[in-house]
């Protein structure tokens, strides 16, 4: 295989916008793999797939990250060893490190798969369409070289209160759905009564937007608010919806009906995941990286992979630093030495599993 320079690839990748369409970025990835002598394919869901090994038995290890980015595009620049621009840490920095590790390892046993998804920042249709029988999965996200063996899930829903219209001059003739919001919103704080998860702590339940009423001189018959749920194992989306609806109905004023509906998705919600800290994957990558073992601070496609194999989230860069937001922010960056350190740690881990 030809020599691969992850930093040169990363610089080019950050200069390739992928916030509206991933087509150009996907072409860059496929051409890079092919120029290194590795066959790459794009499936019907837009995933880029490449494999090595697979002829002598042994474990199947998957490297996964994504090529899409959030808007707006932030142009590439450099500040010494710091690479700045949209996607530099989320997640083209991890992609560069994983690609270098993938190309550096030729399995003596087992199989190594590179699976790069196109829409992690939106609906994760690519990841949902993957059918992979893996023994270990490393998901690339900015973790500061820590090994994240658990992460909260994210559900979104709408709580709707139903009352009855009346003229505002005769409020007693109706049931005010906006007036009913106060006790229902207050009841969010009493919903979670389970013990904290040993690694992720308590889940969160946050109202984020609110609507109600259609006329300024009418008692409103409907009001609603959107909720953001950051879940912990073993809670699933359907269980959460049903339990919350019952809880809020019991808290609503007389005459107010309450419904809870989850946001419509063509793919499953990103649920919480947890991989034992003493698993071979976590221990091997921790020793190779020198990082801590901790939960990840955001929902990821690790949710899908953790259902089939031990899964960790790992990579260069951080979600935020002492000055504020990094990933998804206007000052997004990754340090060059972290990219090469991530490459070394993943390479060492792959050799431990596949040599």
pLDDT tens series, the chain, 355 aa: 458 999 999 999 999 999 999 999 999 999 999 999 999 999 999 999 999 998 778 899 999 999 999 999 999 999 999 999 999 999 999 999 999 999 999 999 999 999 999 999 999 999 999 998 999 999 999 999 999 999 999 999 999 999 999 999 999 999 999 999 999 999 999 999 889 998 899 999 999 999 999 999 999 999 999 999 999 999 999 999 999 999 999 999 999 999 999 999 999 999 999 999 999 999 999 999 999 999 998 899 999 999 999 999 999 999 999 999 999 999 999 999 999 999 999 999 999 999 8
The catalytic residues are 68, 120
Residues 208 and 157: their CA atoms lie apart, in Å, by 10
Residues 83 and 198: their CA atoms lie apart, in Å, by 36
Q: Which pLDDT belongs to residue 271?
A: 92
DSSP letter for 173, please: G
Of the candidates 300, 238, 291, the one whose C-alpha atom is nearest the C-alpha of residue 272 is 300
Q: Which pLDDT belongs to residue 1?
A: 46
Residue 167 tokens, joined: 């003229």
Q: Which pLDDT belongs to residue 180?
A: 96
Residues of the chain with CATH 3.40.630.10: 6-151+272-354
- Cα angle 231-234-235, degrees, rounded to a multiple of 5: 45
Q: Which residues of 43-53 are buried (b: 16+ CB within 10 A; e: fewer)?
A: eeebbbbbbbb
Counting Cα atoms < 13 Å in the Cβ hemisphere of 70 gives 10
Respond yes or no on whether the N-terminal peptide bond of residue 77 is cis (omega within 30° of 0): no
Q: Can you say whether the dihedral through the CA atoms of 17, 21, 24, 29 is positive or negative? A: positive
Q: Which pLDDT belongs to residue 2?
A: 54
**What is the domain class of 153-262 according to CATH?**
alpha beta
Topology annotation, domain 6-151+272-354: Aminopeptidase (3.40.630)
How many other C-beta atoms lie within 10 A of the C-beta of residue 153? 24
Of the candidates 68, 88, 79, 66, the one whose C-alpha atom is nearest the C-alpha of residue 6 is 88
How many other C-beta atoms lie within 10 A of the C-beta of residue 104? 17
Residue with tokens 């083209």: 92
Residues of the chain with CATH 3.30.70.360: 153-262
Q: Which pLDDT belongs to residue 32?
A: 97
């Amino acid at each position: 295989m030809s020599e691969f320079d992850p930093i040169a690839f990363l610089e080019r990748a950050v200069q390739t916008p992928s916030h509206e369409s991933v087509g150009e970025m996907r072409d860059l990835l496929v051409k890079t793999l092919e120029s290194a002598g590795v066959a790459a394919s794009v499936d019907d869901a837009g995933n880029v797939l490449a494999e090595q090994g697979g002829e002598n038995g042994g474990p199947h290890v998957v490297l996964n990250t994504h090529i899409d980015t959030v808007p707006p595009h932030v142009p590439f620049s450099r500040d010494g060893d710091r690479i700045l621009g949209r996607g530099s840490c989320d997640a083209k920095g991890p992609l560069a490190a994983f690609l270098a590790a993938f190309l550096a390892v030729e399995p003596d046993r087992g199989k190594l798969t590179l699976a790069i998804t196109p829409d992690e920042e939106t609906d994760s249709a690519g990841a949902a369409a993957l059918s992979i029988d893996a023994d270990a999965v490393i998901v690339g996200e900015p973790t500061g070289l820590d090994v994240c063996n658990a992460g909260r899930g994210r559900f979104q829903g709408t709580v709707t209160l139903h009352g009855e219209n009346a003229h505002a001059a005769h409020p007693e003739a109706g049931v005010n759905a906006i007036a009913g919001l106060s006790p229902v919103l207050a009841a969010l704080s009493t919903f979670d009564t389970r013990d904290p998860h040993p690694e992720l702590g308590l889940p969160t339940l946050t109202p984020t937007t609110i609507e109600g009423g259609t006329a300024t001189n009418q008692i409103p018959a409907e009001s609603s608010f959107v909720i953001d749920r950051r879940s912990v194992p073993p809670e699933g989306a359907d269980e959460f919806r049903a339990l919350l609806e019952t809880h809020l109905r019991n808290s609503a004023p007389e005459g107010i009906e309450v419904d809870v509906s989850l946001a419509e998705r063509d793919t499953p919600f990103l649920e919480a995941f947890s991989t034992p800290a003493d698993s071979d994957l976590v221990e091997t990558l921790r020793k190779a990286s020198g990082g801590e073992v901790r939960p990840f601070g955001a929902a990821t496609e690790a949710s899908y992979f953790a259902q089939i194999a031990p899964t960790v989230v790992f990579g260069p860069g951080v979600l935020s630093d002492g000055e504020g937001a990094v990933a998804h922010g206007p000052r997004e960056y990754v340090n060059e030495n972290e990219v090469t350190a991530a490459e070394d740690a993943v390479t060492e881990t792959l050799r431990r599993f596949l040599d």
